[in-house]
Amino acid sequence: MSAHSHVDGQLPHEPEKATLEGRNKVLGFWLFLGAETVLFGTLFSAFLALRHQVGDGNPSGQELFELSTTAWATFILLTSSLTSVFAIQSMHTNKVKSMIVWLIITILLGLGFLGLEIVEFANYVDEGHKFSTSAFSTSFYTLVGFHGAHVLFGILWIGILIAQIFKKGLNVTTAPKIYVAGIYWHFIDVVWVFIFTVVYLMGKVG
* Shortest Å distance, C-beta 197 to another protein: 4
Q: Which residues inside 24-83 make contact with another protein, applying CB under 8 A?
A: 26-27, 30-31, 33-38, 40-42, 44-46, 48-49, 67, 70-71, 74-75, 78-79, 81-82
Counting contacts by CB under 8 A, is residue 10 touching another protein?
yes
C-beta atoms surrounding 42 within 10 Å: 10
Of 128 and 169, the one with the shorter C-beta distance to another protein is 169
- Report DSSP state, residue 196: I
Using CB under 8 A as the binding criterion, the count of chain residues that bind another protein stands at: 53
- Report DSSP state, residue 66: -
Contacting residues for 6 by C-beta, under 8 A, at least 6 apart? 12
Q: Which stretch binds another protein (CB under 8 A): 111-119, 143-151, 156-164, 187-195?
A: 187-195
Counting contacts by CB under 8 A, is residue 187 touching another protein?
yes
Query: Do 91 and 99 contact (CB within 8 A), yes or no?
Result: yes
C-beta atoms surrounding 64 within 10 Å: 20
Counting contacts by CB under 8 A, is residue 85 touching another protein?
yes
User: Per-residue x/- marks for another protein, 147-166, CB under 8 A?
Assistant: --------------------
Of 86 and 141, the one with the shorter C-beta distance to another protein is 86
Counting contacts by CB under 8 A, is residue 206 touching another protein?
yes
Counting contacts by CB under 8 A, is residue 20 touching another protein?
no
Counting contacts by CB under 8 A, is residue 96 touching another protein?
no
Q: Which long-range contacts (CB under 8 A, 24 or more apart) does 194-201 make?
A: 194/40, 194/44, 195/143, 195/144, 195/147, 196/70, 196/73, 196/74, 198/44, 198/47, 198/48, 199/47, 199/51, 199/61, 199/140, 199/143, 199/144, 200/61, 200/65, 200/67, 200/70, 201/67, 201/70
Distance of CA 197 to the CA centre of its chain: 16
Residues that bind another protein (CB under 8 A): 8, 10, 13-14, 17, 26-27, 30-31, 33-38, 40-42, 44-46, 48-49, 67, 70-71, 74-75, 78-79, 81-82, 85-86, 89, 92-94, 183, 186-187, 189-190, 193-194, 196-198, 201-202, 204-206
